[in-house]
């Protein structure tokens, strides 16, 4: 038995934002636009959204204070503005950080939650309607029920998860990614790749999520060797398509050990989320070759690799970053990871020894 839920209405393709006037108008009279400080202004996505709002006669107010890996404090500030301005819906424009922040801002506009309840629920009222406009091809947040925040009190990144966080509307226009720098293109593509792989291998994977995962992996296999330099619109479109599909995958099956371990590398060592995942993926796939050999072989077929050693060599060339972890850091990170849901979600008998061994391997 399995379930499938994906209530987000998705527009995909060049110019799709302009097609959403009626959908936007149905959500209310005034929007809170949530972005980072500059990228949405540079790539044209903010102007495109504002043009739709104004053509529909809708008001809007801007909250452009979202940082990378947004904090609990930031989303509380955004919600305060939303309540003050009495907005009817929230639009997140950007990569995963603004979209994740927008979801929780929408939730906090309608719920008075302390820091503990924010991550655990229950939530008494549904959030304001959420619209997402991705401008990178990585997180898949435009189609998920998950928001990841930095929780300084817990000393790591944590997830807010509820079916209520599915966006009502998502507008995925690959043209907004044309100016994304090379290192961000690589980081976000590997983040999305990890979503497809982890969701495919997860204990909660379903026949339906596997279909989307294999389709995403097929498109990643076409372009993993083309992530450097200037990318054509056609490649950017394929990467966003694969990223969105991978988002649908994790909205059904969740993420696993790679994400649980990667959060520590991001929070304590400053690695971007995608780069942290990239450091960990090869060793994770070695575990999967043991526990899920058939699926692991299918991953290699779709991506065009001979196996985990071949994949690891490719990743070291694509992401030559290194990290040196002390024994104390490995012990600390392992303790944090073993308390997370990512351990039980992984199709492997994950012990503290397994986690510590992977951290030690990438620290070589």
pTM higher than 0.95, yes or no?
Answer: yes
In a shared domain, residues 194 and 116? no
1 belongs to a structural domain: no
- pLDDT tens for the chain, 364 residues long, are 999 999 999 999 999 999 999 999 999 999 999 999 999 999 999 999 999 999 999 999 999 999 999 999 999 999 999 999 999 999 999 999 999 999 999 999 999 999 999 999 999 999 999 999 999 999 999 999 999 999 998 888 999 999 999 999 999 999 999 999 999 999 999 999 999 999 999 999 999 999 999 999 999 999 999 999 999 999 999 999 999 999 999 999 999 999 999 999 999 999 999 999 999 999 999 999 999 999 999 999 999 999 999 999 999 999 998 999 999 999 999 999 999 999 999 999 999 999 999 999 999 7
In a shared domain, residues 150 and 280? no
In a shared domain, residues 160 and 117? yes
In a shared domain, residues 344 and 358? yes
**Beta strand segments in the chain, E:** 9-12, 30-34, 59-63, 89-94, 130-134, 146-151, 156-161, 169-172
- The CATH number covering residue 129 comes to 3.40.50.1970
CB 274 within 8 A of CB 190: yes
DSSP state of 128: P
Q: Report the domain count for the chain.
A: 2
In a shared domain, residues 151 and 204? no
331 belongs to a structural domain: yes
In a shared domain, residues 246 and 294? yes
> Which residues, listed in sequence order, are joined to residue 168 by a DSSP beta bridge?
none
User: Where a domain ends, among 146, 176, 206?
Assistant: 176
Domain residue limits at 332: 181-362
2 belongs to a structural domain: no
In a shared domain, residues 155 and 22? yes
- The CATH number covering residue 249 comes to 1.20.1090.10
In a shared domain, residues 163 and 209? no
């Amino acid at each position: 038995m399995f379930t499938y839920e994906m209530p987000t209405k998705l527009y995909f393709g060049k110019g799709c934002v302009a097609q959403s006037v009626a959908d936007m108008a149905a959500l209310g009279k005034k929007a809170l636009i949530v972005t980072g400080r500059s990228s949405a202004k540079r790539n044209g996505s903010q102007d495109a959204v504002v043009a739709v709002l104004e053509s529909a006669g809708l008001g809007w107010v801007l909250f452009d204070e979202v940082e990378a890996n947004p904090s609990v404090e930031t989303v509380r500030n955004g919600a305060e503005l939303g309540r003050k301005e009495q907005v009817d819906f929230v639009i997140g424009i950007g990569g995963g950080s603004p979209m994740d922040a927008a979801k929780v801002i929408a939730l906090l506009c309608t719920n008075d939650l302390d820091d503990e309840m924010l991550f655990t629920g229950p939530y008494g009222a549904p959030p304001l309607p959420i619209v997402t406009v991705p401008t990178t091809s990585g997180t898949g947040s435009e189609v998920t029920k998950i928001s990841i925040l930095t929780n300084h009190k817990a000393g790591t990144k944590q997830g807010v998860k509820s079916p209520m966080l599915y966006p009502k509307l998502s507008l995925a226009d690959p043209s907004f990614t044309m100016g994304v720098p090379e290192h961000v293109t690589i980081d976000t593509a590997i983040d999305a790749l990890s979503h497809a792989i982890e969701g495919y291998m997860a204990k909660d994977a379903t026949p339906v999520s596997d279909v989307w995962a294999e389709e995403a992996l097929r498109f990643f296999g076409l372009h993993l060797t083309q992530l450097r330099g200037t990318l054509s619109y056609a490649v950017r479109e394929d990467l966003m398509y694969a990223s969105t599909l991978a988002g649908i995958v994790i909205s059904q099956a969740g993420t696993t050990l790679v994400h649980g371990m990667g959060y520590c590398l991001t929070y304590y060592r400053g690695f971007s989320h995608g780069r942290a995942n990239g450091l960990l993926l090869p060793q994770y796939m070695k575990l999967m070759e043991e526990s899920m050999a058939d699926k692991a072989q299918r991953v290699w077929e779709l991506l065009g690799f001979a196996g985990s050693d071949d994949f690891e060599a490719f990743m070291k060339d694509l992401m030559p970053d290194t990290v040196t972890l002390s024994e104390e850091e490995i012990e600390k990170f392992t303790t944090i990871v073993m308390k997370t849901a990512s351990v039980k979600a992984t199709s492997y008998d994950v012990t503290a020894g397994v986690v510590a061994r992977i951290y030690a391997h990438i620290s070589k």
